[in-house]
Amino acid sequence: MTENEKFLDEVISGLSQEQKTLPCKYLYDARGSLLFEEICELDEYYPTRVEIAIMHRYAEEMSSRVGEEALLIEYGSGSSRKTRLLLDSLRAPSCYVPIDISPEILAESAAAIAKIYPDLEVHPLCADYLSPVEIPTPEKDFRRRVVYFPGSTIGNFEPLEALEFLAQMARQAGSGGGVLIGVDLRKDSQVLERAYDDAQGVTAQFDLNLLVRINRELGADFPLEDFRHAAFWDRDLGRVEMRLVCKTACRVDIAGQAFDFRAGEYIHTESAYKYDVAEFASLATKAGLSPQTVWTDVSGKFSIHYLTVPDGPFLQSGSDR
C-alpha cells in the first residue's frame, strides 16, 4: 500500500465512524509543520516556551543522566530546535537519528544539525515513528540508545495507545537504554483552551490545513468556508480536543464516497491529554520503564521525564565486533 493509499484508507475509515475523526499525524505536511512552528512562538502556546526554559536550566543534568557516547533517536524531530540544547550539553554523543514524517522539514533540519556538529554522525530517517522502525547502525561505538521525544506529543495518544507507545520506545531503546520525554501537565481550563485556539487564528489555519491537504492529495471537495476550528477541554477525560466544526449542512465527496455533515457536527482531529507527574510515572512503569528523574518549571506547567530500560548500560559497536 502506498502512502497516498494509506492516507485515503485512514481518512475514509475515520470519517465513517459515528464520531467522525481524522488522524492528527496528517496535520504535519510541509505547510502544517511550518504553521506548527508559528504556533510554538505564540504567547498562548506555553508548552514550547516553558519546555525550552526547562532545557536551558537542566540540560547539564539531563546530559549526566543520558551519559557519554549515546545514540540519540528523536521522534518527530521537526526543526530540532530543542535538540540543539540537548546536543550542546551531551558528552561525546555517538550518533543522532532524527525521525520525521515530513521529508522537507527532515532534510533541512538534519543538514543544519550536521553543519553545526561536524563530528556527529547524523542519519535522518523519513518514516512514521508510530510504527517500529529500524535504526541505522552508526560507525562509532555507542553505550546506549536514548529515545528523545520532546514537546507534548505523548498527549495525542489515547491512554492505552500511550502505554503501547511507551513500551515501543522501551523496545527501541533496548536494555540499558533511556527515554527522555516531554509531558504537559494539567492546569486551568482557560489556559489550555487558549493554547489550542489562539487569538490570531494560527491554530485554526493549522487544523483547517488538514482539509486543504485532503482536497489536494485525495481529490476531495471539502467546502473550507463551511468549517471552523474549535478547542474544548474535557475535564472528565483530562484532554483538550481539537475539532473542525461544520457550520452549515453539507456533503463531501472523497474518492467516490459521500459523507454528509449536519450543522454543528464536528470532526475530532486531535486529542491532547494532560497528566500530573505521578500519573505519568505510573503509566511509564506499566510500560516497562523505570522513572529516574523529572524536571518541571516553577509554575508546574510542563515536565520532562528521564526513564530507563532495566538491566543496566551496555556497549554496542557500529562494526558489530
Residues 239 and 265 in one domain: yes
Same domain, 63 and 88: yes
The mean per-residue pLDDT over the stretch 107-125 comes to 94
Look at residue 320 in the predicted model and tell me its pLDDT. Answer: 33
Residue with cell 486529542: 271
In the chain, count H helices and then E strands. 9, 13
User: Residue 89's domain is classified under what CATH number?
Assistant: 3.40.50.150
Judged against a pLDDT cut of 90, whether residue 32 lies above it is answered with yes
Residue 185, φ and ψ in degrees, nearest 5? -105, 155
The residue ranking higher by pLDDT, 81 or 293, is 293
* Residue-wise pLDDT tens digits, 85-108: 999 999 999 999 999 877 888 899
How many whole angstroms separate alpha carbon 315 and alpha carbon 321?
11
pLDDT over 90 percentage in the chain: 84
One domain for residues 170 and 282: yes
pTM of the model: 0.87
Residue 317 in any domain: the answer is: no
Distance between CA 189 and CA 191 in Å, rounded? 5
Residue 115 has pLDDT above 50, yes or no: yes
As for how many domains the chain has, the answer is 2
Residue 24 inside a domain? The answer is: yes
CB 54 within 8 A of CB 295: yes
Same domain, 78 and 151: yes
Predicted confidence band of residue 30 (pLDDT cuts 50, 70, 90): confident
Pairing between strand 95-100 and 125-126? parallel
Is the pLDDT score of 313 beyond 60? no
**101 or 216, greater pLDDT:** 216
Task: Give the residue carrying C-alpha cell 493509499.
Answer: 5
pLDDT of residue 321: 26
Same domain (yes/no): 177, 284? yes
- Where is average pLDDT lowest: 3-12, 77-86, 167-176, 261-270? 77-86
CA distance to 217, 301, 306, per residue, from 291 (Å): 42, 19, 6
Same domain, 121 and 51: yes
The string of pLDDT tens digits covering residues 145-197 is 999 999 999 999 999 999 999 999 999 999 999 999 999 999 999 999 999 99
Task: Note whether 154 and 293 are same-domain residues.
Answer: yes
Residue 181 and residue 153 share a domain: yes
Closest CA to 23 of 164, 213, 228: 213
Same domain, yes or no, for 93 and 169? yes
Torsion over CA: 62, 65, 66, 67 (sign): positive
Same domain, 71 and 156: yes
**Greater pLDDT, 8 or 1:** 8
The answer, yes or no, to whether residue 317 has pLDDT greater than 70, is no
For residue 247, give the DSSP letter.
S
Domain extent for 295 = 46-187+275-308
Range with lowest mean pLDDT among 49-58, 102-111, 187-196, 244-253: 102-111
The predicted pLDDT at position 319 comes to 35
The letter for the amino acid at 256 is G
Same domain, 25 and 174: no
User: Buried b vs exposed e over 50-78: b needs ≥16 C-beta within 10 Å?
Assistant: bbbebbeebbeebbebbbebbbbbbbbbb
Strands annotated E in the chain? 70-75, 95-100, 121-122, 125-126, 144-149, 178-184, 227-234, 239-246, 250-254, 257-261, 266-273, 290-296, 302-308
What is the per-residue pLDDT across 274-302, written as a single tens digit (0 to 9) for each?
999 999 999 999 999 999 999 999 999 99
Same domain, 181 and 106: yes
End-to-end CA distance of the chain: 37
**Does residue 87 fall inside a structural domain?**
yes
pLDDT at 131: 83
- Position 79 scores a pLDDT of 67
